[in-house]
Structure 1
Amino acid sequence: MRIQTILAHPLPQSFAAAVHRTAVSALRASGHEVLETDLYAEGFAPALTVAERASYFSPVYDASAVACLVERLRWSEGLVFCYPHWWFDQPAILKGYIDRVWGPGIAFRHDRDGGRILPLLTGLRTVAVLTSFGSPWWLTELYMRNPARRILKNGILTACAPQARFHYHAHYDMDRSTEASRKRFLIKVDGAMRRLG
Protein backbone atom coordinates (compact mmCIF):
# COMPACT_ATOMS: atom_id res chain seq x y z
CA MET A 1 0.00 0.00 0.00
CA ARG A 2 1.12 3.61 -0.60
CA ILE A 3 1.26 5.16 2.86
CA GLN A 4 2.12 8.72 3.78
CA THR A 5 3.27 9.37 7.33
CA ILE A 6 2.73 12.89 8.65
CA LEU A 7 4.75 14.08 11.63
CA ALA A 8 3.67 17.22 13.48
CA HIS A 9 6.22 18.02 16.18
CA PRO A 10 9.00 20.63 16.08
CA LEU A 11 11.64 18.60 17.97
CA PRO A 12 13.46 15.74 16.21
CA GLN A 13 14.31 14.20 19.61
CA SER A 14 10.65 14.20 20.76
CA PHE A 15 8.64 11.12 21.62
CA ALA A 16 6.35 11.90 18.66
CA ALA A 17 9.40 11.72 16.38
CA ALA A 18 10.41 8.38 17.94
CA VAL A 19 6.86 7.10 17.33
CA HIS A 20 7.12 8.29 13.73
CA ARG A 21 10.46 6.55 13.17
CA THR A 22 9.05 3.33 14.67
CA ALA A 23 5.99 3.52 12.42
CA VAL A 24 8.01 4.16 9.26
CA SER A 25 10.36 1.28 10.01
CA ALA A 26 7.48 -1.16 10.67
CA LEU A 27 5.55 -0.07 7.59
CA ARG A 28 8.58 -0.50 5.33
CA ALA A 29 9.39 -3.87 6.91
CA SER A 30 5.85 -4.95 6.02
CA GLY A 31 6.36 -4.07 2.37
CA HIS A 32 4.47 -0.78 2.17
CA GLU A 33 5.69 2.09 0.02
CA VAL A 34 6.18 4.92 2.52
CA LEU A 35 6.36 8.66 1.89
CA GLU A 36 7.42 10.70 4.92
CA THR A 37 6.07 14.21 5.52
CA ASP A 38 7.51 16.25 8.40
CA LEU A 39 5.47 19.45 8.55
CA TYR A 40 7.86 21.38 10.80
CA ALA A 41 11.02 20.27 9.00
CA GLU A 42 9.46 21.29 5.70
CA GLY A 43 8.57 24.72 7.06
CA PHE A 44 4.86 24.30 6.44
CA ALA A 45 2.88 27.49 7.17
CA PRO A 46 -0.48 26.54 8.71
CA ALA A 47 -2.44 29.72 8.01
CA LEU A 48 -4.74 29.84 4.99
CA THR A 49 -3.48 32.30 2.40
CA VAL A 50 -5.64 35.10 1.04
CA ALA A 51 -5.85 33.28 -2.31
CA GLU A 52 -6.91 30.01 -0.66
CA ARG A 53 -9.69 31.57 1.39
CA ALA A 54 -10.88 33.81 -1.47
CA SER A 55 -11.20 30.80 -3.79
CA TYR A 56 -12.69 28.38 -1.23
CA PHE A 57 -16.19 28.55 -2.73
CA SER A 58 -15.07 29.32 -6.28
CA PRO A 59 -15.25 26.74 -9.07
CA VAL A 60 -11.49 26.15 -8.63
CA TYR A 61 -9.76 26.27 -5.24
CA ASP A 62 -6.30 27.89 -5.45
CA ALA A 63 -4.08 25.22 -3.91
CA SER A 64 -0.97 26.34 -5.80
CA ALA A 65 0.95 27.16 -2.60
CA VAL A 66 0.47 23.61 -1.28
CA ALA A 67 0.51 21.74 -4.60
CA CYS A 68 3.24 19.33 -3.45
CA LEU A 69 1.24 18.30 -0.37
CA VAL A 70 -1.92 17.95 -2.43
CA GLU A 71 -0.07 15.61 -4.77
CA ARG A 72 1.12 13.53 -1.79
CA LEU A 73 -2.42 13.32 -0.41
CA ARG A 74 -3.82 12.15 -3.74
CA TRP A 75 -1.00 9.58 -4.00
CA SER A 76 -1.81 8.12 -0.56
CA GLU A 77 -3.83 4.97 0.02
CA GLY A 78 -3.07 5.21 3.73
CA LEU A 79 -2.21 8.02 6.14
CA VAL A 80 -0.45 7.74 9.48
CA PHE A 81 -0.58 10.88 11.63
CA CYS A 82 2.05 11.19 14.38
CA TYR A 83 1.58 14.07 16.81
CA PRO A 84 1.02 15.01 20.45
CA HIS A 85 -2.18 16.51 21.78
CA TRP A 86 -1.71 19.96 23.26
CA TRP A 87 -4.70 21.31 25.22
CA PHE A 88 -6.68 18.26 24.05
CA ASP A 89 -6.21 19.17 20.38
CA GLN A 90 -3.79 18.55 17.55
CA PRO A 91 -0.91 21.01 17.03
CA ALA A 92 -1.81 24.14 15.06
CA ILE A 93 0.46 23.08 12.21
CA LEU A 94 -1.59 19.90 11.70
CA LYS A 95 -4.89 21.76 11.86
CA GLY A 96 -3.48 24.14 9.24
CA TYR A 97 -2.47 21.17 7.08
CA ILE A 98 -6.08 19.97 7.09
CA ASP A 99 -7.41 23.49 6.45
CA ARG A 100 -5.10 24.20 3.52
CA VAL A 101 -4.45 20.82 1.87
CA TRP A 102 -7.80 19.07 2.37
CA GLY A 103 -9.56 21.77 0.37
CA PRO A 104 -12.49 21.78 -2.04
CA GLY A 105 -11.85 19.88 -5.24
CA ILE A 106 -9.17 17.88 -3.39
CA ALA A 107 -10.69 16.20 -0.33
CA PHE A 108 -14.32 17.08 -0.95
CA ARG A 109 -16.72 18.82 -3.31
CA HIS A 110 -19.31 21.40 -2.34
CA ASP A 111 -22.88 20.28 -2.98
CA ARG A 112 -24.58 23.61 -3.64
CA ASP A 113 -28.06 22.08 -3.78
CA GLY A 114 -27.87 19.97 -0.66
CA GLY A 115 -25.81 22.33 1.48
CA ARG A 116 -23.32 19.59 2.36
CA ILE A 117 -20.01 18.34 1.02
CA LEU A 118 -19.31 15.22 -1.00
CA PRO A 119 -16.21 13.05 -0.45
CA LEU A 120 -13.38 12.98 -2.99
CA LEU A 121 -10.67 10.98 -1.18
CA THR A 122 -12.12 7.73 -2.46
CA GLY A 123 -8.70 6.08 -2.80
CA LEU A 124 -7.86 6.52 0.86
CA ARG A 125 -8.21 3.08 2.44
CA THR A 126 -6.91 3.55 5.98
CA VAL A 127 -6.04 6.32 8.41
CA ALA A 128 -4.11 5.80 11.63
CA VAL A 129 -3.39 8.22 14.46
CA LEU A 130 -0.38 7.65 16.72
CA THR A 131 -0.55 10.23 19.46
CA SER A 132 -0.03 11.17 23.08
CA PHE A 133 -1.73 13.17 25.83
CA GLY A 134 -0.18 14.80 28.85
CA SER A 135 -3.37 14.00 30.75
CA PRO A 136 -4.45 10.57 32.02
CA TRP A 137 -6.94 8.40 30.15
CA TRP A 138 -9.93 9.22 32.38
CA LEU A 139 -9.56 12.97 31.93
CA THR A 140 -9.06 12.73 28.17
CA GLU A 141 -11.75 10.16 27.42
CA LEU A 142 -14.36 10.47 30.19
CA TYR A 143 -14.26 14.16 31.05
CA MET A 144 -13.17 15.77 27.74
CA ARG A 145 -14.54 12.96 25.51
CA ASN A 146 -11.48 13.33 23.24
CA PRO A 147 -12.78 16.12 20.96
CA ALA A 148 -9.92 15.97 18.44
CA ARG A 149 -10.50 12.27 17.74
CA ARG A 150 -14.24 12.86 17.23
CA ILE A 151 -13.59 15.78 14.88
CA LEU A 152 -11.10 13.81 12.78
CA LYS A 153 -13.08 10.56 12.65
CA ASN A 154 -16.71 11.72 12.65
CA GLY A 155 -16.22 15.07 10.97
CA ILE A 156 -13.28 15.21 8.57
CA LEU A 157 -12.97 11.56 7.54
CA THR A 158 -16.72 10.96 7.35
CA ALA A 159 -16.97 13.96 5.03
CA CYS A 160 -13.88 13.32 2.89
CA ALA A 161 -13.07 9.58 3.05
CA PRO A 162 -15.95 7.68 4.67
CA GLN A 163 -14.67 4.33 3.35
CA ALA A 164 -11.30 4.63 5.13
CA ARG A 165 -10.71 2.39 8.14
CA PHE A 166 -9.72 4.38 11.23
CA HIS A 167 -7.09 3.25 13.76
CA TYR A 168 -6.26 5.18 16.92
CA HIS A 169 -3.41 4.56 19.37
CA ALA A 170 -2.63 6.94 22.21
CA HIS A 171 -0.12 7.08 25.05
CA TYR A 172 -1.92 8.79 27.92
CA ASP A 173 -0.42 10.54 30.96
CA MET A 174 2.77 11.51 29.11
CA ASP A 175 3.55 14.11 31.78
CA ARG A 176 4.21 11.19 34.13
CA SER A 177 5.44 8.69 31.56
CA THR A 178 8.38 6.41 32.20
CA GLU A 179 10.95 4.82 29.98
CA ALA A 180 9.03 1.56 30.38
CA SER A 181 5.66 3.09 29.42
CA ARG A 182 7.16 4.76 26.37
CA LYS A 183 8.86 1.54 25.32
CA ARG A 184 5.57 -0.37 25.66
CA PHE A 185 3.86 2.16 23.43
CA LEU A 186 6.59 1.94 20.77
CA ILE A 187 6.18 -1.85 20.76
CA LYS A 188 2.42 -1.37 20.36
CA VAL A 189 3.01 1.05 17.47
CA ASP A 190 5.38 -1.38 15.76
CA GLY A 191 2.81 -4.18 15.94
CA ALA A 192 -0.08 -1.98 14.81
CA MET A 193 1.84 -0.70 11.79
CA ARG A 194 2.94 -4.20 10.78
CA ARG A 195 -0.76 -5.18 10.75
CA LEU A 196 -1.99 -2.02 9.03
CA GLY A 197 -3.96 -2.74 5.90
Structure 2
Amino acid sequence: MHVLVVYCHPVETSFHAALHREVLRQLRSAGHTVDDCDLYAEGFDPVMSREERLGYHDVPANQAALGFYVDRLRRAEAIVFCFPTWCFGLPAMLKGFFDRLLMPGVAFDISDPANVKPLLTNIRRIGAVVTYGRPRWMAWYMGDPPRKMVTRYLRRLTGNRARVDYHAYYHMNVATPPRLARFMARVGQAMARFA
Protein backbone atom coordinates (compact mmCIF):
# COMPACT_ATOMS: atom_id res chain seq x y z
CA MET A 1 0.00 0.00 0.00
CA HIS A 2 1.08 3.59 -0.55
CA VAL A 3 0.94 5.27 2.87
CA LEU A 4 1.00 9.01 3.49
CA VAL A 5 2.45 9.65 6.95
CA VAL A 6 1.53 13.11 8.24
CA TYR A 7 3.82 14.03 11.12
CA CYS A 8 3.38 17.15 13.22
CA HIS A 9 5.85 17.95 16.00
CA PRO A 10 8.46 20.73 16.08
CA VAL A 11 11.06 19.00 18.29
CA GLU A 12 13.33 16.36 16.76
CA THR A 13 14.36 14.98 20.18
CA SER A 14 10.80 14.44 21.45
CA PHE A 15 9.21 11.10 22.25
CA HIS A 16 6.84 11.79 19.39
CA ALA A 17 9.79 12.13 17.00
CA ALA A 18 10.88 8.66 18.10
CA LEU A 19 7.34 7.35 17.52
CA HIS A 20 7.43 8.88 14.03
CA ARG A 21 10.70 7.13 13.21
CA GLU A 22 9.25 3.81 14.44
CA VAL A 23 6.11 4.27 12.32
CA LEU A 24 8.23 4.88 9.22
CA ARG A 25 10.57 1.97 9.95
CA GLN A 26 7.81 -0.55 10.53
CA LEU A 27 5.68 0.53 7.56
CA ARG A 28 8.68 0.27 5.23
CA SER A 29 9.72 -3.09 6.73
CA ALA A 30 6.18 -4.34 6.07
CA GLY A 31 6.66 -3.54 2.36
CA HIS A 32 4.60 -0.36 2.09
CA THR A 33 5.77 2.63 0.08
CA VAL A 34 5.81 5.65 2.37
CA ASP A 35 5.40 9.36 1.65
CA ASP A 36 6.71 11.04 4.80
CA CYS A 37 5.03 14.44 5.18
CA ASP A 38 6.78 16.22 8.07
CA LEU A 39 4.77 19.44 8.27
CA TYR A 40 7.36 21.38 10.27
CA ALA A 41 10.35 20.20 8.22
CA GLU A 42 8.49 21.03 5.00
CA GLY A 43 7.58 24.49 6.26
CA PHE A 44 3.86 23.95 5.71
CA ASP A 45 1.90 27.18 6.12
CA PRO A 46 -1.19 26.39 8.21
CA VAL A 47 -2.76 29.82 7.79
CA MET A 48 -5.68 30.12 5.40
CA SER A 49 -5.43 33.52 3.77
CA ARG A 50 -8.34 35.83 3.05
CA GLU A 51 -7.99 35.09 -0.66
CA GLU A 52 -8.01 31.33 -0.05
CA ARG A 53 -11.17 31.57 2.02
CA LEU A 54 -12.91 33.72 -0.60
CA GLY A 55 -12.01 31.13 -3.27
CA TYR A 56 -12.68 28.10 -1.04
CA HIS A 57 -15.67 26.88 -3.10
CA ASP A 58 -14.13 27.66 -6.50
CA VAL A 59 -13.16 24.16 -7.73
CA PRO A 60 -10.50 23.51 -9.07
CA ALA A 61 -8.92 26.96 -8.63
CA ASN A 62 -9.10 26.50 -4.83
CA GLN A 63 -6.41 23.81 -5.09
CA ALA A 64 -3.75 25.91 -6.82
CA ALA A 65 -1.85 26.92 -3.67
CA LEU A 66 -1.78 23.36 -2.35
CA GLY A 67 -1.36 21.28 -5.51
CA PHE A 68 1.70 19.47 -4.11
CA TYR A 69 -0.25 18.29 -1.04
CA VAL A 70 -3.43 17.56 -2.99
CA ASP A 71 -1.47 15.25 -5.30
CA ARG A 72 0.06 13.42 -2.34
CA LEU A 73 -3.32 12.94 -0.71
CA ARG A 74 -4.84 11.62 -3.93
CA ARG A 75 -1.99 9.12 -4.43
CA ALA A 76 -2.36 7.71 -0.91
CA GLU A 77 -4.15 4.46 -0.21
CA ALA A 78 -3.69 4.95 3.52
CA ILE A 79 -2.85 7.76 5.94
CA VAL A 80 -1.13 7.61 9.29
CA PHE A 81 -1.14 10.74 11.45
CA CYS A 82 1.52 11.21 14.15
CA PHE A 83 0.90 14.15 16.47
CA PRO A 84 0.67 15.32 20.07
CA THR A 85 -2.54 16.66 21.55
CA TRP A 86 -2.15 20.20 22.81
CA CYS A 87 -4.91 21.95 24.80
CA PHE A 88 -7.09 18.90 24.06
CA GLY A 89 -6.94 19.58 20.33
CA LEU A 90 -4.84 19.21 17.23
CA PRO A 91 -1.59 21.21 17.05
CA ALA A 92 -2.23 24.44 15.10
CA MET A 93 0.00 23.22 12.25
CA LEU A 94 -2.08 20.07 11.76
CA LYS A 95 -5.38 21.90 12.22
CA GLY A 96 -4.28 24.29 9.48
CA PHE A 97 -3.36 21.32 7.28
CA PHE A 98 -6.92 20.00 7.67
CA ASP A 99 -8.50 23.44 7.24
CA ARG A 100 -6.61 24.18 4.05
CA LEU A 101 -6.44 20.73 2.44
CA LEU A 102 -9.80 19.15 3.25
CA MET A 103 -11.68 21.37 0.84
CA PRO A 104 -14.34 21.09 -1.87
CA GLY A 105 -13.07 19.16 -4.87
CA VAL A 106 -10.44 17.38 -2.76
CA ALA A 107 -12.10 15.86 0.31
CA PHE A 108 -15.74 16.27 -0.66
CA ASP A 109 -18.05 17.33 -3.48
CA ILE A 110 -20.37 20.09 -2.31
CA SER A 111 -21.92 20.89 -5.70
CA ASP A 112 -25.23 19.72 -4.17
CA PRO A 113 -25.04 21.18 -0.63
CA ALA A 114 -27.94 19.03 0.54
CA ASN A 115 -26.07 15.89 -0.55
CA VAL A 116 -22.35 16.30 0.14
CA LYS A 117 -20.33 13.44 -1.33
CA PRO A 118 -17.03 12.15 0.08
CA LEU A 119 -14.08 12.23 -2.31
CA LEU A 120 -11.31 10.52 -0.33
CA THR A 121 -12.50 7.11 -1.47
CA ASN A 122 -8.90 6.23 -2.41
CA ILE A 123 -8.11 5.96 1.32
CA ARG A 124 -8.68 2.43 2.62
CA ARG A 125 -6.87 2.72 5.97
CA ILE A 126 -6.41 5.48 8.50
CA GLY A 127 -4.12 5.27 11.49
CA ALA A 128 -3.16 7.71 14.20
CA VAL A 129 -0.43 7.74 16.82
CA VAL A 130 -1.31 10.40 19.35
CA THR A 131 0.06 11.51 22.71
CA TYR A 132 -1.83 13.41 25.42
CA GLY A 133 -0.43 15.30 28.37
CA ARG A 134 -3.39 14.53 30.60
CA PRO A 135 -5.16 11.29 31.62
CA ARG A 136 -7.73 9.59 29.44
CA TRP A 137 -10.68 10.50 31.66
CA MET A 138 -9.89 14.19 31.20
CA ALA A 139 -9.62 13.83 27.41
CA TRP A 140 -12.98 12.01 27.49
CA TYR A 141 -14.47 14.79 29.66
CA MET A 142 -13.27 17.39 27.14
CA GLY A 143 -14.85 15.43 24.27
CA ASP A 144 -11.52 14.20 22.85
CA PRO A 145 -11.68 16.27 19.62
CA PRO A 146 -8.55 14.69 18.05
CA ARG A 147 -10.00 11.19 18.35
CA LYS A 148 -13.30 12.33 16.81
CA MET A 149 -11.51 14.14 13.98
CA VAL A 150 -9.61 10.99 13.00
CA THR A 151 -12.12 8.24 13.74
CA ARG A 152 -15.29 10.01 12.63
CA TYR A 153 -14.71 12.99 10.35
CA LEU A 154 -11.81 11.67 8.30
CA ARG A 155 -13.45 8.26 7.99
CA ARG A 156 -16.62 9.95 6.74
CA LEU A 157 -14.60 11.64 3.99
CA THR A 158 -13.65 8.15 2.74
CA GLY A 159 -17.31 7.25 2.40
CA ASN A 160 -17.10 5.42 5.75
CA ARG A 161 -15.05 2.73 4.00
CA ALA A 162 -11.65 3.16 5.63
CA ARG A 163 -10.71 1.06 8.62
CA VAL A 164 -9.37 3.26 11.43
CA ASP A 165 -6.86 2.55 14.21
CA TYR A 166 -6.25 5.13 16.92
CA HIS A 167 -3.23 4.53 19.15
CA ALA A 168 -3.21 6.95 22.09
CA TYR A 169 -0.78 7.38 24.94
CA TYR A 170 -2.42 9.32 27.76
CA HIS A 171 -0.81 11.25 30.61
CA MET A 172 2.61 12.06 29.19
CA ASN A 173 3.04 14.38 32.18
CA VAL A 174 3.71 11.37 34.40
CA ALA A 175 5.21 9.01 31.79
CA THR A 176 7.82 6.48 32.85
CA PRO A 177 10.43 4.87 30.58
CA PRO A 178 8.86 1.38 30.89
CA ARG A 179 5.39 2.67 29.97
CA LEU A 180 6.77 4.65 27.03
CA ALA A 181 8.69 1.58 25.85
CA ARG A 182 5.51 -0.53 25.99
CA PHE A 183 3.59 2.05 23.97
CA MET A 184 6.43 2.28 21.42
CA ALA A 185 6.36 -1.52 21.04
CA ARG A 186 2.58 -1.49 20.63
CA VAL A 187 2.80 1.16 17.90
CA GLY A 188 5.59 -0.76 16.15
CA GLN A 189 3.55 -3.95 16.15
CA ALA A 190 0.48 -2.13 14.83
CA MET A 191 2.47 -0.57 11.97
CA ALA A 192 4.09 -3.91 11.14
CA ARG A 193 0.58 -5.37 10.71
CA PHE A 194 -0.87 -2.29 8.98
CA ALA A 195 -2.87 -3.46 5.96
- TM-score band, normalised by shorter chain: over 0.9
Matches within 5 A, 1:20-169: 20-112=20-112, 114=114, 116-141=115-140, 143-169=141-167
Q: Partners of 1:111 and 1:62 in 2: how far apart?
A: 14
Q: Partners of 2:34 and 2:104 in 1: how far apart?
A: 26
Pairwise CA RMSD: 1.4
**In the alignment, which residue of structure 1 is the partner of 2:171?**
173
Task: Give me the identity figure in percent.
Answer: 38
SS of the counterpart of 1:47?
coil
Equivalent residue letter for 1:122:
T
Q: Kindly indicate whether the alpha-carbon contact (under 8 Å) linking 1:61 and 1:104 is maintained by their aligned counterparts in 2.
A: no
SS of the counterpart of 2:117?
strand
SS of the counterpart of 2:194?
coil
Q: In structure 2, list runs of 5 or more residues that go unmatched.
A: none
Q: Partners of 2:110 and 2:165 in 1: how far apart?
A: 27
SS of the counterpart of 2:110?
strand
Q: Partners of 1:152 and 1:100 in 2: how far apart?
A: 16
Q: Kindly indicate whether the alpha-carbon contact (under 8 Å) linking 2:26 and 2:191 is maintained by their aligned counterparts in 1.
A: yes
Q: 1:127 to 1:45 in 2, by over 3 A?
A: same
Q: 1:51 to 1:60 in 2, by over 3 A?
A: farther
Equivalent residue letter for 1:154:
R
Matches within 5 A, 1:2-13: 2-13=2-13
Q: Partners of 1:164 and 1:69 in 2: how far apart?
A: 20
Q: 1:161 to 1:79 in 2, by over 3 A?
A: farther
Q: 1:99 to 1:181 in 2, by over 3 A?
A: same
Equivalent residue letter for 1:191:
Q
SS of the counterpart of 1:106?
coil
SS of the counterpart of 2:129?
strand
Count of matched residue positions in the alignment of Structure 1 and Structure 2:
195
Q: Kindly indicate whether the alpha-carbon contact (under 8 Å) linking 2:66 and 2:101 is maintained by their aligned counterparts in 1.
A: yes
Equivalent residue letter for 1:139:
M
How far off its partner does 1:190 sit? 0.4
Equivalent residue letter for 1:127:
I
TM-score by length of 2: 0.94
Moved more, 153-162 or 80-89: 153-162
Q: Kindly indicate whether the alpha-carbon contact (under 8 Å) linking 2:125 and 2:164 is maintained by their aligned counterparts in 1.
A: yes
Q: Partners of 2:171 and 2:113 in 1: how far apart?
A: 46
TM-score by length of 1: 0.93
How far off its partner does 1:61 sit? 4.1
SS of the counterpart of 1:130?
strand
Q: In structure 1, list runs of 5 or more residues that go unmatched.
A: none
SS of the counterpart of 1:62?
helix
